[in-house]
Amino acid sequence: MAISQQLIEEIRVLSSFSLNSVQTGIKVHHDAEPQLVAATQRLFDKGLISARDGGYLTELGRETAEHIQLALTILSSEPALT
């Protein structure tokens, strides 16, 4: 599976959310990088976030963000010694 630039931008947005509290959201301002504004809109269209400009994670969005953040943590860690 190839990872498109659009998917990378959506991952950037989802990894911006704090998973410490369901009451912590984000706001992507209209003058932010155009690709981030577009990614945020796509995530809203997919039902992963509550507003076109960010808002809060939906239940599906939270689960997705948890998986993404875990994958990023694993991939960013040092290789295990064998």
The CA-CA-CA angle for residues 7, 9, 13, to 5°, reads 115
d(CA 44, CA 60): 11
Model pTM?
0.87
Q: Give a three-class secondary structure readout of 47-60.
A: CCEEECCEEEECHH
> Amino acid letter at 28?
V
Measuring CA to CA, which residue among 4, 75, 74, 73 is closest to residue 38? 4
Parse the chain into domains and list their residue ranges. 7-76
For 17-45, how does the pLDDT look when each residue is reduced to its tens digit (9 = 90+)? 999 988 889 999 989 999 999 999 999 99
pLDDT of residue 73: 93
